[in-house]
Amino acid sequence: MDTTQRVLVLPQEPIGTINPYLHGHFAEHLGELVYPGVWVGEDSPIPNTGGIRNDVVDALRPLEIPVLRWPGGCFADTYHWRDGIGPREKRPMRINVHWGMAEEANQFGTHEFVAFCRALGAEPYFAANIGSSAPEEMRDWIEYCNFAGNSTLAGERRANGAAEPFHVQHWGVGNENWGCGGNMSPEEYAAAFARFRTFVFPYSGTPLDGIACGPNGPDWRWTRRVLETLGPGRRRLMKGFAAHYYCGTAGTATEYTEAQWLELLAKAAAMEGMVIGHRAVMDEFDPERKIGLIFDEWGAWHPVEPGKPRGGLYQQNTVRDACVAALTLDVFHNHADKLYMANVAQLINVLQSLLLVEEDRCLKTPTYHVFDLYRPHKGARAVRLISEAETVSDGGAARDQCRACYLDKRPFALRAVQGSASVRDGKLCVTAVNSHPTQAVELELEVRQARLETLEVVTLAADDIHAHNTFARPDVVRLSKPATVQADGPRVRVPLPPGGVVRLRGPLG
């Protein structure tokens, strides 16, 4: 492979604004995410504020998380919100039937979750139970959270310590209702969505987004039949349509060959086909794009780490997972005109997490550093980026997994360098991934019809493609210190290590 890999940026070809919601996150009652990842209780020796871990808040706050989804996941459609309000000593003990029959003491409920969101500066996104509840349960939850006037439910919220409404805007109407949320057909779910959504009202000036359960991966049939069944009148009830796509695994979280490295990255890059495919089907019914396409669960899914409960989904996080996150975020930026929100799964200790905690220790994973690196893209205007890099994988595994992901029949390939670009206030931000597991490249960036001057360069890389952070060595994988490079007119060259992720920022001339 030629070690020089060229990327062309066209600032005069805007795609759309990168909604900050595309950098959203997800926290399910699952494994060690909530207990002890977020909640340790007010009496814990672990430093906390109102029972919420200080180290976790301190680590996450700089990311400026825009939106956080809760309480599930599969947990959502067995969750009854009243279990998680009122005096904690009186809350019922339940069983988490989806995740290992674990005890659920409901110490972390609506008020605690909203407090966590406020500590992070994130908007709450609630996933409501439609699989094992009636419409009035969701309706009452919304009134409890959002009504500022005089009602029994608003009074109960005040009695429980919240004088002012929570103003929760984002409400998922069920979760994975094609599976753990009820094993419904598309027609059954469409009827359930319309029924529940009919009784969901905005209160006290809080806008309300009714988010419907979208497809699992490349299930075009689900998307088409839900929208078709709803018809034009009932489709107006839908603000968002939430798909899920997990690129899965190849090998294990920390043990994989070079071929398995490429296999997983190809599966991650196949997210582009998911976005294009489902938006194309949605456009047939919603050409004005009033319904936002959402991917509120995405990421890698490796076998559980040895010594951890199978139902807890605890896994390590390596530089390969960082590349999965970077490739996926680049896809979202390159299709910013097609997407409304996305939520990586999950926040702490579970699946592709940003943080791992153990007792009083907290570390940042390589995936955390990617979200940190990509922060300048949020709210900027995405512009077209063309990678002329060589192919390092034909994407066969990904193509087999998602079948005809590209409705326009383009061949699927994973290129050595892929990335995204955005512009804000005359400043260019480019992020790129070297997908090759062993070969460093020289990235040649060219900007069409503009000039570059000096650029700040920050890189995420490691000496080993299996590198990851542990509590004994928490900084094996971390961001480099910013460096400055001088451009040559419209071009600049920077080294990009194997499996590395880079960000270049600087003014456009």
Span 332-383, pLDDT tens digits: 999 999 999 999 999 999 999 999 999 999 999 999 999 999 999 999 999 9
Q: Under 8 Å CB-to-CB from 440, ≥6 apart: which residues?
A: 3, 434, 495, 496, 497, 498, 500
Q: Which CATH architecture has domain 4-10+383-507?
A: Sandwich (2.60)
- Whether residue 412 has pLDDT greater than 90: no
Phi-psi region for residue 351, left (φ > 0), alpha (ψ -120 to 50) or beta? left
Catalytically annotated residue among 176, 263, 272, 446: 176
Q: What would the pLDDT profile of 22-37 be if each residue is shown by its tens digit? A: 999 999 999 999 999 9
Query: What is the structure's pLDDT at 391?
Result: 85
Q: Residue range 273-278: average pLDDT?
A: 94
* Percentage of the chain exceeding pLDDT 90: 91
Q: Pick 129 or 2 by higher pLDDT.
A: 129
Integer distance in angstroms from the first to the last C-alpha of the chain?
33
Q: What confidence score (pLDDT) does residue 1 get?
A: 64
Give the SS3 label for residue 171.
strand
Does the pLDDT value for residue 439 go beyond 60? yes
Closest CA to 180 of 223, 267, 244: 244
Q: What is the mean pLDDT of the chain?
A: 95
Amino acid at 147: F
Q: Find out whether 39 and 108 touch, Cβ atoms under 8 Å.
A: yes
Q: What is the mean pLDDT of residues 403-407?
A: 46
Exposure of 304 in the CB half-sphere (CA atoms within 13 A): 15
- Looking at residue 386, its pLDDT comes to 96
Give the orientation angle of helix 110-120 with respect to helix 135-146, to 10 degrees.
50
Strand positions, DSSP E, 267-410: 292-300, 339-345, 355-358, 361-364, 381-387, 391-393
CATH C-level class of 18-380: alpha beta
Catalytically annotated residue among 104, 112, 143, 297: 297
For 199-318, where are the alpha helices, taking DSSP H only? 220-235, 258-269, 271-285
Q: How far is residue 286's CA from residue 254's CA, in Å, rounded to a whole number?
A: 43
Question: Would you state the structure tokens that stand for residue 419, as one six-digit string?
Answer: 């990335």
How far apart are alpha carbons 113 and 164 in whole angstroms? 15
> Residue 488 has what DSSP assignment?
B
Residue 139 pLDDT level (bands cut at 50, 70, 90): very high
Give the whole-angstrom CA distance, residue 29 versus residue 23.
21
Torsion angle of alpha carbons 69, 71, 74, 77, nearest 10°? -120
The angle at the Cα of 106, spanning 103 to 112, to the nearest 5 degrees, equals 140
* pLDDT at residue 345 in the model: 97
For residue 406, the model assigns a pLDDT of 44
Per-residue pLDDT for 457 more than 60?
yes
Res 183: pLDDT: 97
CB count in 10 Å sphere of residue 403: 12
pLDDT, one tens digit per residue, over 298-307 is 999 999 988 8
Residue 127 has a pLDDT of: 98
- Listed in order, strand segments (DSSP E) in 388-488 are 391-393, 414-415, 417-424, 427-434, 441-447, 454-460, 483-486
Domain residue spans of the chain: 4-10+383-507, 18-380
In this prediction, residue 407 has a pLDDT band, given cuts at 50, 70 and 90, of: very low
Residue 411: what are its φ and ψ, rounded to 5°?
-65, 145
Amino acid 404: pLDDT: 45
| Percent of residues, the chain, with pLDDT higher than 70 | 96
**Does residue 244 surpass a pLDDT of 80?**
yes
Express each pLDDT in 305-344 by its tens digit: 888 888 899 999 999 999 999 999 999 999 999 999 999 9
Mean pLDDT of the 200-207 span: 89
**Distance from C-alpha of 367 to C-alpha of 424, rounded to nearest angstrom:** 24
User: What confidence category does residue 403 fall into, taking pLDDT thresholds of 50, 70 and 90?
Assistant: very low
Contact 328/295 with Cβ under 8 angstroms?
Answer: no
Give dist(CA 180, CA 185) in Å, integer: 12
Whether 18-380 and 4-10+383-507 are alike in CATH topology: the answer is no
Task: Give yes or no for a contact between 318 and 466, defined as CB atoms under 8 angstroms apart.
Answer: yes
- Tell me which of 147-161, 364-378, 390-404, 444-458 is least confident: 390-404
Angstrom distance (rounded) from CA 268 to CA 332:
12
pLDDT in tens, 57-87: 999 999 999 999 999 999 999 999 999 999 9
For residue 297, indicate whether it is catalytic. yes
pLDDT at 201: 86
CA atoms within 13 A on the CB side of 241: 34
Task: Work out the average pLDDT over 283-296.
Answer: 98
